[in-house]
Structure 1
Amino acid sequence: MRFLEKWFEPAVIVSMLGMIIILVFADVIARLAFSTSIAVANELARFSFVYMIYFGVSYAIRERRHMRVTVLLDVMPKALRHWMFVLSEVIFLIYSVVVCWLGVVITQQSIDRGKILSSTEWPQAVLYVAIIFSGALSSLRLLQSIKAAVVDGDTRLGPQTDI
């Protein structure tokens, strides 16, 4: 389980990036050599890009590399800084839960309307499921961060180093 916890997002991100490279390269070769386009390649590359970005969000949260404005944390006393960090993580958690819920709503609306992708003819909901995954994984990562801050006192703003 630790292996999955550690490598899930990076594996998805790298796989999606590899797919993008292969698909775009194949489409460029098809255009140059055969004067045609691979319609499915464009759609699958877009699909891969969306999943790569959304899984990157939860990975950035896990590694504590997501963008933050820390000017308030920097000027506060250490004891107050700790609780402000926890508060900011809780607010981010609420946001992530809302994103996950809205992802469910958008996906359900897409299913109800019967929208499909043009080339692959997959339901468009397959694309929107990335929002649900991202919101759920981000929420999980933020819960881990809040636990680490409250229980262990770990409020560092950068990634953890294994030295």
Structure 2
Amino acid sequence: MRITVVRGDITAEHVDAVVNAANNRMRGGGGVDGAIHRAGGPAVLADCVARFPRGLATGDAGWTIAGDLPARWVIHTVGPNRHAGETDRALLVSCYRRCLEVADELGARSVAFPLVGAGVYGWSVEESLSAALEGFEAAPTGVDEARFVAFSDPSYDVVTAALA
């Protein structure tokens, strides 16, 4: 699997699937979650309600349609919220591994990832990236490209340097 990085907005990525850093409720939220729901339109939320009536567990992943996004699917994953006492790094690794497993179930060959858990959930960019690489290594996959989409220049610089 080829790992790439771009600086930009994950909602504009032309890939088979985009990964949403969701919350347990699966009803939209802030950050990446809010951006994906806004750009994808009401169809994404309606599919979340239908597929995840009780939400989604931390460290797990599931998919919905992508609505108005250029991608075909949204793979939602719930990262551990460090500020809420969820400090088990294995849950963060699981997010990335489970996303690749779901991508394989869908037949997705290209997947755009945010830095799950970085930001309001309290994990650093470095910690999220390290967990991603560990999760990728643990999941044999048919995905051809895992693309990190960094929203800020500092995040882009960290990911680019780490992957060099």
TM-score normalised to the size of structure 2? 0.25
The structure carrying a bigger strand percent of its residues is: 2
Q: Larger radius of gyration, structure 1 or 2?
A: 1
TM-score normalised to the size of structure 1? 0.25
The structure carrying a bigger helix percent of its residues is: 1
Q: Higher relative contact order at CA 8 Å, sep ≥6: structure 1 or structure 2?
A: 2
